[in-house]
């Protein structure tokens, strides 16, 4: 279990299978503790392919408090939920359908909406209705899961994109030049309000970005700026992703 006021934790594991096991164990510990403390567990799932392995392990654990768990998404492609690109579809196939998550406990981003801005606004309203925070405050997820691309993007906060500067809205439609498409994404203020942010990163293609995030003195890629203001930050990475780190030995908890 991660200590909520500790410094960022870097955990390096040998391989991808160990990564998924560690990630599933951490997810489970936070879920159990959140339900024990507050009667519910709120988690924003991440997209892409890395979460598949962790989700598969979690899907086998019927002992988790799934009925008290509320599932959200850190970002979504601008595509319908049936699309192969959809982060919701990946989560539904690998986890939500397997644990028979209650439909009323799953809050997907409605990116079937042609206008991505409308989809983003609608999701922000969904979050506001659920979290009911005071004006000017941000929602505090128990856990936000994040991945990282080879360019150091996280969620759909891509290098050079407009959403990097957003400090007020919770959810925005972000134009991603390299894909020539919008994505819908949580913004830094929401990510950095989480009780725990856990990055799960695998593979040599992420090694340069991980070094830039964790060891560069100056500016770095978008993932560098995810730093919970009052919560824990865990970087769970495999040795392949950690291959360019110079200080790995010192950091490795």
Residues that bind ligand 6PG (CB under 6 A): 46-50, 74-75, 87, 147-149, 153-156
Q: Tell me the residue nearest to ligand 6PG as measured from the CB.
A: 147
Is the CB of 148 or the CB of 198 nearer to ligand 6PG? 148
CB of residue 154 vs ligand 6PG: minimum separation in angstroms? Answer: 5
Q: E-strand spans in the chain?
A: 9-13, 41-45, 69-73, 75-77, 143-146, 171-176, 181-186, 196-201, 232-238
Which residues have a Cβ under 8 Å from the Cβ of 178 and sit 6 or more positions away?
158
Is the CB of 99 or the CB of 176 nearer to ligand 6PG? 176
Is the CB of 154 or the CB of 174 nearer to ligand 6PG? 154
CB of residue 129 vs ligand 6PG: minimum separation in angstroms? Answer: 23
CB of residue 67 vs ligand 6PG: minimum separation in angstroms? Answer: 26
- Burial of residue 102, with CB atoms counted within 10 A of its CB: 0-12 exposed, 13-18 middle, 19 or more buried: middle
Is the CB of 35 or the CB of 212 nearer to ligand 6PG? 212
Is the CB of 20 or the CB of 35 nearer to ligand 6PG? 20
CB of residue 65 vs ligand 6PG: minimum separation in angstroms? Answer: 25
CB of residue 93 vs ligand 6PG: minimum separation in angstroms? Answer: 15
Q: What is the Rg, in whole angstroms, of the alpha carbon atoms belonging to the chain?
A: 17
CB of residue 146 vs ligand 6PG: minimum separation in angstroms? Answer: 6
Write out the H or E segment, with its range, that includes residue 192. Answer: none
How far is Cα 223 from Cα 192, in angstroms, rounded to an integer? 11
Is the CB of 70 or the CB of 199 nearer to ligand 6PG? 199
Do the beta carbons of residue 193 and residue 138 sit within 8 Å? yes
Which residues have a Cβ under 8 Å from the Cβ of 192 and sit 6 or more positions away?
226, 227, 228, 229, 231
């Amino acid at each position: 279990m991660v200590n909520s006021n500790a410094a960022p934790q870097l955990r390096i594991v040998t391989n991808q299978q160990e990564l998924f096991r560690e990630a599933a164990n951490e997810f489970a510990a936070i879920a159990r503790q959140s339900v024990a403390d507050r009667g519910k567990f709120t988690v924003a799932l991440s997209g892409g392919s890395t979460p598949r392995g962790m989700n598969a392990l979690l899907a086998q654990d019927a002992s988790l408090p799934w009925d008290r768990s509320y599932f959200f998404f850190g970002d979504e492609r601008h595509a319908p939920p049936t699309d192969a690109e959809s982060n919701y579809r990946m989560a539904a196939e690998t986890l939500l359908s397997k644990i028979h998550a209650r439909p009323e406990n799953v809050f997907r981003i409605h990116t079937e909406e042609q206008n991505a801005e409308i989809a983003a606004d609608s999701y922000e309203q969904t979050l506001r209705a659920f979290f009911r925070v005071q004006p000017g405050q941000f929602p505090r997820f128990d856990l936000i899961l994040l991945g990282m691309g080879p360019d150091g993007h996280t969620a759909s906060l891509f290098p050079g994109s407009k959403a990097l500067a957003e400090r007020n809205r919770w959810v925005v439609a972000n134009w991603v030049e390299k894909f020539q498409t919008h994505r819908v994404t949580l913004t830094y203020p929401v990510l950095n309000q989480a009780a725990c942010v856990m990055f799960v990163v695998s593979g040599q293609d992420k090694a340069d970005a991980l070094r830039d995030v964790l060891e560069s003195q100056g500016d770095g890629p978008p993932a560098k700026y995810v730093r919970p203001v009052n919560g824990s930050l865990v970087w769970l990475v495999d040795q392949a992703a950690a291959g360019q780190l110079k200080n790995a030995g010192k950091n490795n908890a």
